[in-house]
Amino acid sequence: MPRFLHVGLIGLLMAALAACGGTATQPPAGTAAPTSAATAEATLAETPTEGAGASPTFVLPSFQLPHNATELEALLPDTLGGVKLQKFSWTGPDFVNQNSQNTELNAFLQSLGKSLSDISAAAAFSSTFDNSMFAFRVTGVDHSVLISEFQKAQNTGLTTPIPWTPATIGGKSVLQAPGNTTGETIYLYGVADLIFEVTTTDPAVAAEALGKLP
């Protein structure tokens, strides 16, 4: 995935980890600020239980995930394999945490005649992080162009290009390639001005995920 996409998506996942595990990170501008790690530790609530020697119950602080591109989130499924997915999204400058000086991102957008206001992204993942989905849109840019740029960026610096192979999964024409984890496969699919990335170790989940996309 292009490095500027990783900036945003890693930020999204860090926010999600904070929400699930109580370890706070700085969210993108325009979203609710989580409790800092130090404050979170200090404000964990101890609920006494009856009986001598009983262990206290700790309540983790709450966190508000960003939902700035709800129309894009709605394109991602709510469940996979019977498991509810966490979903969240960003738009424009918030996608790169207002890092509008990102050289790679600016060059990419300029090559398309676009700006930060034209981009949006959404993510969905299971609580165990074994299944994940990402959606990325550049308004008005055909998905074939986005996929081509995606592949170029993925191969930057590699001596051997990533072995993307065409396949039909879940009724969709996709490109697939091995992921970074043993047994993990990445599926890339595009439609209109959108590209979707599905990552999973389970072919049945991949077929379900892609089958639920537009």
Higher pLDDT, 165 or 60: 165
Alpha-carbon distance of 198 to 196, in angstroms, equals: 7
| The predicted structure's pLDDT at residue 24 | 38
Q: What single-letter DSSP state applies at residue 103?
A: H
Closest CA relative to residue 2, chosen from 206, 169, 195, 168? 195
- Contact indicator for 118, 140 with CB cutoff of 8 Å: yes
pLDDT band at 15 (very low <50, low <70, confident <90, very high): very low
Q: How far is it between the farthest Cα atoms of the chain?
A: 68
Closest CA relative to residue 133, chosen from 182, 192, 95, 87? 87
Higher pLDDT, 32 or 95: 95
What CA–CA distances, in Å, run from 61 to 14, 21, 86? 15, 9, 17
What are 6's two structure tokens? Answer: 């990783």
41 has pLDDT over 50: no
Q: Which helix (H) or strand (E) holds 20?
A: helix 3-21
3-state secondary structure (DSSP) of residue 162: coil
Tens digit of pLDDT for each residue in 115-156? Answer: 888 989 899 988 777 888 999 999 999 999 988 888 887 777
